[in-house]
Structure 1
Amino acid sequence: MTIHRREHGLIPSRSAWLIALLLLLPPTVEAQSAPATSGSTAPMAMPAMPGMDHGEMPGMDHPAAPIAPTATDMPALEPPPTPGMPKAPMQGGRPPADARSGDYSDGIAASPMHAMPAHGRASSGLLRIDQLEAFHGDEGNGQRWEIRGWYGGDSDKLWLRSEGVRSGGELEDGELELLWGHATSSYWSRQLGVRHDFGNGPARSWVAVGAQGLAPYWFELEATAYAGAGGRTAARLRVDYELLLTQRLVLQPELEVNLYGRRDPQRRLGEGVSDIQFGLRLRYEIRREFAPYLGVNWTRRVGATADYARHDQRAVREWQWLAGVRFWF
């Protein structure tokens, strides 16, 4: 009977503790499981638990962690000065005395030498002796010259042209032309001037009009018409080409055709096509301004001019071997 009374006395005491524990748990669980408010980034507040004040516990007094500074609170970062290197001043202000011009951004200094002005008013000149040669042919030996020169600007030039042949110790044929040339395009110019013939027979003077320039495929072309006293007329077509075999070795073929409108017995010239000449010269440019050459020249007299040659017992066709120099300055 005593044992039963003890058991009945313990049951009410345990039930009371269990009921008290259940009454304390619901508020804590609800506080932990409550969701955070939408859009809120603040941490969830935890209710203070009795008996959990760490500040009052011995050995648990920790200082509060410092708050990390934001980007706006940080001072400007400046690199430490490099030893031996002076601090560069800020841009602006007056440049130093030895600073280069702002027009030369790549550091290219202005040259004290002035180049030739690149406009049509600048004048310059050139004299070129294309052919100064000795020849050996079917009718003997002789010499020949051919000169080209000009002075002026890009648009207008004064031209000098001369050529001739000396054979048997006498001047056989020669001519001199003085022309004004005006550029009509990048590669062509028209010419107007005078021509004077001298040598065997009476001298003749002509008014000249023509054109010269660079044809397609780099052929140099001269076409000139002439009118003289007594209704005399003439024309000349000349074509030459320079073929660079190397940087210094140049092969130059040349073709020339002469025509006359009427006969000139005193100068042994017939009407129509008078003569055709073809030359081939191989030169070596020791310098651009000086080049010796070897070559061959072929001449064919045509029509009445050939008849005059036969009457004078001269060759109608003739081959000539050449040696000469070409230079300019």
Structure 2
Amino acid sequence: MRLFIATALLGSALIAAPVAAQHHDHAMPAEPAAPVDHAAMGHGPMGHAAAPSPGPEMETPPPPEAGSGPPRAADAIWGEAAMRASREELQRTHGDFPVFWFQGDRFETQVRDGQAGYLWDLQGYQGGPTSRFWFKSEGEGTFGEALEDAEIQALYSRAIAPYWDFQAGVRQDVAGPATTHAVIGVQGLAPYMFEVDAALFLSHRGDVTARIEAEVDQRITQRLILQPRAELSLSAQDIPQLGMGAGIDKIELGVRLRYELKREFAPYVGIEQSWRLGGSADLARAKGEDPSATNFVAGIRFWF
């Protein structure tokens, strides 16, 4: 009996010892944490880790025969002649094919000083992405009177930079004094989406003139578009038969508001102010014309 009691007391002591030790540990105050050395910590972009060091440079350069093979790997397997037809077909079906485009940029009626007139400004091209045949035509007049100005241009156009073409060709005036001009110019898209068309003309009489046009579309809604436009004409000498004086011949500033019923068809209204300057203004007054004119316009813009 005494042996049984002693054994029971010993077992109870063994079971209670870990529990007491556990309660003793919770009662003990925690040791203070070691101070953190913030200066030693990195400040990389991920988790403030230190930025990785750049990799080692190449110890040995590539062998001399590297890159000495054909410029296209397929040529080494199938031969250049066999692959040429495949490359031509790829270019033909992925952008390098002729396209026809035509646009009536301005096709309008103008009202000024109680008289109604008309104006057209058409252009288009036929060709691929880098070389094209480009044609242009402009003209204006007053209803019931003879045609005042009209011209046709036939140009070869070649891409010289992204969004820019160099153009060269011939211009024929078909109203007023018959005049043929050689033409060189550039046409393209300037920063901030300004469409620019600049050309230099040399007539068969040796007269040198130039014209710069610029316009930009300011989209108000998906269909309503405001288009400011400017045009500057210049001449290197007086040309009385064309009504042009040396220097700045004419400045035109206008704005047109159009609504796209379809992307390809948009009626518009607007206002345009023009000034003849210098010798051109004197020649206009001598003919009984006002060198300054305000036009209220209405027309359509279309393309296909």
TM-score under structure 1 length normalisation: 0.63
The DSSP-based 3-state class of the residue aligned with 2:180 is: strand
Determine the structure 2 residue equivalent to 1:195. 171
Determine the structure 1 residue equivalent to 2:272. 297
Question: Is 2:148 aligned against 1:159?
Answer: no
Determine the structure 2 residue equivalent to 1:235. 210
Q: Displacement, 1:117?
A: 2.6
Determine the structure 2 residue equivalent to 1:36. none
Contact persistence 1:264–1:270 (CA under 8 A): yes
Aligned ranges 1:96-135 → 2 under 5 Å: 117-120=93-96, 122-135=97-110
Determine the structure 2 residue equivalent to 1:327. 302
Determine the structure 1 residue equivalent to 2:30. none
The DSSP-based 3-state class of the residue aligned with 1:283 is: strand
Contact persistence 1:212–1:223 (CA under 8 A): yes
Contact persistence 1:177–1:196 (CA under 8 A): yes
Give CA-to-partner distance per residue, 1:61-93, whole Å, 9 cap, x none.
xxxxxxxxxxxxxxxxxxxxxxxxxxxxxxxxx
Q: Give RMSD over aligned pairs.
A: 1.5
Question: Is 2:163 aligned against 1:178?
Answer: no
Determine the structure 2 residue equivalent to 1:256. 231
Q: Displacement, 1:118?
A: 2.2
The DSSP-based 3-state class of the residue aligned with 2:161 is: coil
Q: Displacement, 1:267?
A: 2.0
C-alpha distance in 1 between matches for 2:241 and 2:205: 14
C-alpha distance in 2 between matches for 1:185 and 1:291: 30
The DSSP-based 3-state class of the residue aligned with 2:205 is: helix
Runs of 4+ in 1 over 2 A off after TM superposition: 116-120
| Percent identity of paired positions between Structure 1 and Structure 2 | 38
Q: Which amino acid aligns with 1:279?
A: G
Q: Which amino acid aligns with 1:288?
A: R
Aligned ranges 1:1-329 → 2 under 5 Å: 117-120=93-96, 122-138=97-113, 140-169=115-144, 170-200=146-176, 202-329=177-304
Contact persistence 1:139–1:315 (CA under 8 A): no
C-alpha distance in 2 between matches for 1:303 and 1:174: 23
C-alpha distance in 1 between matches for 2:132 and 2:303: 17
Contact persistence 2:103–2:302 (CA under 8 A): yes
C-alpha distance in 2 between matches for 1:267 and 1:223: 20
Count the aligned residue pairs: 213
Q: Displacement, 1:214?
A: 0.9
Q: Displacement, 1:247?
A: 0.5
C-alpha distance in 2 between matches for 1:208 and 1:274: 18
- Greater share of residues in helix: 2
Q: Displacement, 1:168?
A: 4.1
Contact persistence 1:222–1:239 (CA under 8 A): yes
Give CA-to-partner distance per residue, 1:280-329, whole Å, 9 cap, x none.
11000000111100011111001111001111121111101011111112
Contact persistence 1:296–1:322 (CA under 8 A): yes
C-alpha distance in 1 between matches for 2:208 and 2:114: 29
Identify unmatched segments of 5+ residues in structure 1: 1-115
Contact persistence 1:150–1:160 (CA under 8 A): yes
C-alpha distance in 1 between matches for 2:205 and 2:147: 25
Q: Displacement, 1:138?
A: 2.2
Q: Which amino acid aligns with 1:119?
A: G
Give CA-to-partner distance per residue, 1:114-135, whole Å, 9 cap, x none.
xx83233x00111111111111
Q: Displacement, 1:208?
A: 0.4
Q: Displacement, 1:272?
A: 1.4
Contact persistence 1:262–1:272 (CA under 8 A): yes
C-alpha distance in 2 between matches for 1:136 and 1:288: 27
Determine the structure 2 residue equivalent to 1:65. none
The DSSP-based 3-state class of the residue aligned with 1:199 is: coil
Q: Which amino acid aligns with 1:173?
A: D
Q: Displacement, 1:177?
A: 0.8
